[in-house]
A and B are shown apart, each in its own frame.
Chain A
Amino acid sequence: MDYDIPINIAGLDLKNPVIVASGMLGLSQSIFNRLYKIGAGAIVSKSISLLPREGYRNPTIVSVGNMSYINAVGLANPGAESFSTEISKNNGPLLVSLVGSEKSDFSSIVKLFRDHKILGFELNLSCPHVEKMGMEIGDDLNLVYDIIQSIKKETTKPLFVKVGLGKSDIVEVANVAESAGADGITAINTLRAMKIDIETQCPVLENKIGGLSGSAIKPLGIRCVYELSKSLKIPIIGCGGIMTYSDVVEYMMAGASAIQIGSLIGLKGICSVGKIVRSLRSYLEAGNISDIREIIGIAHR
């Protein structure tokens, strides 16, 4: 009961608006069960591709201080078939994140999951560090439209589209996603970034370039959600640099109906998921806010 802040988003009833972002603890059903138990409103799986991917060699994640990381995991994942076996007994609020390099990949992956007990899907159009996957697709608006339509043909489950800051305008990409039938937008993903060790004079990440996450990107995330909510009818899930309940409130005031947390789990551990829900509840109680919907988009007034 402690974790109840009921919210409805894109037709889904969630017990609270705190969702675990893709790439965080996203591989194992046992860990999903642990996350449900400790309060997660929903979980997004690691982005799943048609075939298994080993990802890049270590180091894949580097801390850059100020509660921020740069990662280039390289979309390591067990592939659609193994993962569909992994979650075959799931009955918690799980969204499967999809990644691919061509249109046909997505429909093949979705077919494997459409009969599973999952909430729906999130399309990752914004991974900034793998060639021909994620961002490079997100930058091609015609392809985005086609992919979303091909996914919607295979499933009636809700589809969220995760957009980031690539070459194309984020609002434009999201508008295309909405017109193609997306049920919601997740914003934002990590941003292309780099760390060089000045003593050895070499890039730290094996892939050299990775994606920046954590506190450093929060103001960008807030701005994106604010702009997106001006022009979209479908709901938005805010993501990027959320560390405390006040960051959640800020995202919701900008227009997000729910939020995702990522880096926080690395900084404060797995229990931070439940803690942020509980402190959000206390905030609402203290402010006599009986329905969290009251604060969504309030900054637009």
Chain B
Amino acid sequence: MLIDKNLMRLVKIEDVSIETPTVKTIFFKDSLSSVSKPGQFLMVWIPRKEELPLSVMISDKKKYAAITIKKNGYGSTSLFNKDIGDRIGIRGPFGNSFSCNKALNNVIFLGGGTGLVPLVRLLYYIKGYDSKFTFIMGAKTKSEIMFTELINEWAKVKKIDLHIATEDGSLGAKGYPTDILRDFLSVHKDIDMIYTCGPELMMKKAYDLATKYSVHMEASIERYMKCGIGICSSCCINDKLVCVDGTIFNEIKIQKLTEFGVSYRNKSGILTKF
């Protein structure tokens, strides 16, 4: 029988893995999410607490799926505190996905914070392609860097160039991941795609660089979400709804989004500057 993806499904947390002191990956069984495309997200219900939009993470087990949560405020901390055996509700997967194109020669992934979740999932899916991969990740400090073990594991089979930037210089280069991207683009003229997800101001810098060097890009944009199904308009950016028209937009679409990197809607819908 066809499952209505909008109907909430209750799932049991089957496994948990600690990524950093404040980030956890939670595994559960759900066939709809397990076949979601890289970049799609779920609406995750933490009973009696909150519902949050979260990117789908990787699960190797058939019919299983995962989400990765960073402890932040009320909702995310409630989810972070859940453990094996606890139950959460999910609906989705929602949104479009990153394009996966075998013909790409030279691909850059640029991510920061929990923006890394959809990017590592995308890398997982396309790591078998013949393309060259460069992964640039950023964080405030060393303890917040995550998923490097995963990437290094995959790098044993296929070369993946991993670059790290921390704001305090405690690991990798001192500065922003976009500094690494800038230097990289000025040297390598054969890049054909930048996939990015993370803080919008970081993605805006990446967009400006991509435009300067005429490189294609796809960015996953985050907005405050309530319904996830395109009716409440809380997630709008210009005339697009991030939950259904996105979350992934390419450089041609971003060009028309004058609010990108400039303003977002707060919980009551007021356009607010970053």
Which positions in A face B, CB cutoff 8 Å? Answer: 23-28, 30-31, 33-34, 46, 52-55, 57-65, 71, 73, 76-79, 82, 86, 197, 199-200, 202, 204, 206, 262-263, 265-266, 269-270
Does the CB pair B269–A76 fall under 8 Å?
yes
Chain A interface mostly helix, strand, loop or mixed?
loop
Q: What chain A residues lie within 8 Å of B238 (beta carbons)?
A: 30
- CA A298 – CA B62 in complex, angstroms? 57
Does the CB pair B233–A58 fall under 8 Å?
no
Does the CB pair A25–B51 fall under 8 Å?
no
Q: List 9 A-B contacts (CB under 8 A).
A: A31-B233, A33-B239, A55-B226, A55-B268, A59-B43, A62-B8, A197-B8, A199-B87, A200-B87
> B170 at the A/B interface (Cβ < 8 Å)?
no
Q: Which of B248-273 contact A (CB under 8 A)?
A: 265-271
Does the CB pair B244–A269 fall under 8 Å?
yes
Does the CB pair A79–B268 fall under 8 Å?
yes
Does the CB pair A59–B234 fall under 8 Å?
no
> B236 at the A/B interface (Cβ < 8 Å)?
yes
Does the CB pair B226–A60 fall under 8 Å?
yes
CB of A59, distance to nearest CB on chain B (Å): 4
> B241 at the A/B interface (Cβ < 8 Å)?
yes
Does the CB pair B271–A86 fall under 8 Å?
yes
Known: A46-B269, A200-B10. A59 touches B51 (CB 8 A): yes
Does the CB pair B267–A27 fall under 8 Å?
no
Does the CB pair A61–B229 fall under 8 Å?
yes
Q: What chain A residues lie within 8 Å of B7 (beta carbons)?
A: 63-65
Q: Which of B43, B231, B239, B266 has the largest count of A CB atoms less than 10 A from its CB?
A: B231
CB of B154, distance to nearest CB on chain A (Å): 35
> B232 at the A/B interface (Cβ < 8 Å)?
yes
**Other A-B pairs beyond A60-B232, A86-B271, 9, CB < 8 Å:** A25-B241, A33-B239, A54-B267, A57-B75, A58-B52, A77-B269, A197-B10, A200-B10, A270-B241
Q: Mark B35-76, 1 if CB is under 8 A from A, else 0.
A: 000000001010110111000000000000000000000010
Q: What chain A residues lie within 8 Å of B8 (beta carbons)?
A: 62-63, 197, 204
Instruction: Closest A residue to B227 by CB, please name it.
Output: A61
Q: Which of A62, A76, A199, A206 has the largest count of B CB atoms less than 10 A from its CB?
A: A62
Does the CB pair A265–B231 fall under 8 Å?
yes
Q: What chain B residues lie within 8 Å of A199 (beta carbons)?
A: 10, 87
Instruction: Closest A residue to B88 by CB, please name it.
Output: A200
> B230 at the A/B interface (Cβ < 8 Å)?
yes
Does the CB pair B236–A58 fall under 8 Å?
no
